[in-house]
Chain A
Amino acid sequence: MKACILTFHALTAAQKGETTLRKNKIETEVTRTPKWMAEQGCGNALRVNCRDIYRAIGILKENNITYRKAYLRNESGRIEELTI
């Protein structure tokens, strides 16, 4: 599974995202944001299967849940920011 990451400003927002995505049958899990992604230091993220990422982002937007950034691992294994 290719994992994408959605970063959030705080744990509660990530948890709300997790609950909402799971209700919509998208597998996801709260995780710590990798330090280099955390920008202002410390945060939480959602790990989502990349095949679900666009649907996940759409569901979050519909439910007014704001994420900070989305990242995916490209074919060469590098993590890059996903611009939507």
Chain B
Amino acid sequence: MIYLDSGATSFYKPPSVQRAVLQAMNSCASPGRGGYEAAVRAGKIVYQCRELASELFHCQVEQVVFTSNCTHGLNMAIGTLVRPESRVVISGFEHNAVTRPLHAIGAKISVAGRKLFDEKDTIKSFENAILDGANVAVFTHCSNVFGYILPVEKMAELCKKHKIPFIIDAAQSAGTVPIDFIKLGADFVAMPGHKGLLGPQGTGILLCKNPPKPLIFGGTGSLSVCQEMPEFLPDRGEAGTLNVGGIAGLGAGISYLLRTGTEHILKEERDCAEICGNALDKWGFPVFMGESQSGTISFVPRVDCEDAAAIFSQNKIAVRAGLHCAPLAHESAGTLESGTVRLSFGYGIHKRDTFEVVRRLEKIRNCL
């Protein structure tokens, strides 16, 4: 199988990740709950992961709050900043992990920037929405459907200039596109542990400028007598037992990224996406590609997109089809009715695999 669904989750992991999970499962108890060796060891492993994350994202260790995935983090962040009376500006490429919590709260939403790979339009629309009265911003760093990398640094500058708090969804960028939390000045940046950070499923990180409003209430191993959740980070965002095995794996994934650097990973992913995209384009399929692109591309097949994905699967290429939990993105791009087939390249996939993908697709392109 050639795995091209890294946008959903990373399939291949560095061997150190698996070793770290297994080691933690064999030797770790619950961190911060006891003074015996296994509990202390668990505490050290969790702290090491916080340190590694703080190094990768340029933040303080306590600003690293562990979550179960990016959606969990986004819900916590949105729940902190958004009220029913809030006026929220989002980009045209948000995932349901952003739009559904906003819908549930009932905030007024304005969508700014609907043109794919058009940074100028994104920034201008965004600024107009802020001038129109938006008082909170939530935007994705990179579209999970089309791979469009939004100009988040400039969007962040706009938010800071107009003093509006903002949340960045780094689901598709964390681990490949650089994120400097302090420089960005975001209130929250949410990310999964199991995609670009190469950790296991069931892990995520929410970078917090300030303590969030708790989403879950419970034991933190601190200030137990007090019935309010602790006011300080990271405890305020971490009730209950942490996923120590997962965090151990996540730490190993981040350590790998720090050792090898992320620039070459992004370049490889982009190159692979371009090779495939060019081939699909040559064969007459509408392909969404542009300059500010990650390792994810989408195209519209001539058959039903799910049938097309099934044909890919029969040819041992794993892709995702449909709306990718991002109907807004499809609405913006005009593919809401057809859906798309998404190819997302990630760790473990190299150019030689991509040439093999093109070779296999060439044989079946008339069925797609």
Binding site for B on A (CB under 8 A): 9-13, 15-16, 19, 30-32, 40-44
> Are A10 and B51 interface neighbours, CB within 8 A?
no
Flag whether B50 is at the interface (Cβ < 8 A): yes
CA distance A30 to B51 in the complex (A): 16
In terms of DSSP, what is the predominant structure of the interface of chain A? Answer: mixed
Select one of B35, B40, B51, B222 contacting A9, CB under 8 A. B222
Nearest A residue to B233 via CB reads: A12
Nearest A residue to B60 via CB reads: A16
> Are A13 and B32 interface neighbours, CB within 8 A?
no
Nearest A residue to B32 via CB reads: A11
Flag whether B210 is at the interface (Cβ < 8 A): no
> Are B223 and A43 interface neighbours, CB within 8 A?
yes
> Are B51 and A32 interface neighbours, CB within 8 A?
no
- Give the residue among B32, B51, B234 with the most A Cβ atoms within 10 A: B32
Known A-B contacts A30-B43, A31-B35, A44-B32; the reply to A12 vs B50 at CB < 8 A is yes
> Are A11 and B43 interface neighbours, CB within 8 A?
yes
- Give the residue among B51, B222, B234 with the most A Cβ atoms within 10 A: B222
Chain A residues near B1 (CB-CB < 8 A): none
> Are B222 and A42 interface neighbours, CB within 8 A?
yes
Interface size class on chain B is 20 to 34
Select one of B61, B224, B226 contacting A16, CB under 8 A. B61
Known A-B contacts A10-B222, A12-B50, A40-B224; the reply to A32 vs B34 at CB < 8 A is yes
Nearest B residue to A44 via CB reads: B32
Flag whether B256 is at the interface (Cβ < 8 A): no
Chain A residues near B40 (CB-CB < 8 A): 30
> Are B47 and A12 interface neighbours, CB within 8 A?
yes
In terms of DSSP, what is the predominant structure of the interface of chain B? Answer: loop
> Are B235 and A10 interface neighbours, CB within 8 A?
yes
- Which A-B residue pairs are the 4 nearest by beta carbons? A41-B224, A41-B225, A32-B35, A11-B32
Known A-B contacts A9-B232, A10-B232, A32-B34; the reply to A19 vs B51 at CB < 8 A is yes
Known A-B contacts A10-B232, A16-B61; the reply to A41 vs B223 at CB < 8 A is yes
Nearest B residue to A16 via CB reads: B61
Chain B residues near A15 (CB-CB < 8 A): 43-44, 47, 61
Nearest B residue to A13 via CB reads: B62
Nearest A residue to B43 via CB reads: A11
Nearest B residue to A15 via CB reads: B47
Contacts A10-B221, A16-B61 given; 8 further ones with Cβ under 8 A?
A11-B222, A12-B233, A13-B62, A15-B43, A16-B62, A30-B40, A40-B224, A44-B32
Of residues 213 through 230 on chain B, the ones whose CB sits less than 8 Å from some CB of chain A are: 220-226, 230
The distance from the CB of B120 to the nearest CB of chain A, in whole angstroms, is 41
Select one of B35, B50, B220 contacting A10, CB under 8 A. B220
CA distance A49 to B112 in the complex (A): 58
Nearest A residue to B61 via CB reads: A16
Chain A residues near B61 (CB-CB < 8 A): 12, 15-16
The distance from the CB of A9 to the nearest CB of chain B, in whole angstroms, is 6
CA distance A19 to B234 in the complex (A): 17
Chain B residues near A11 (CB-CB < 8 A): 31-32, 43, 47, 221-222
Chain B residues near A12 (CB-CB < 8 A): 47, 50, 61-62, 233-235
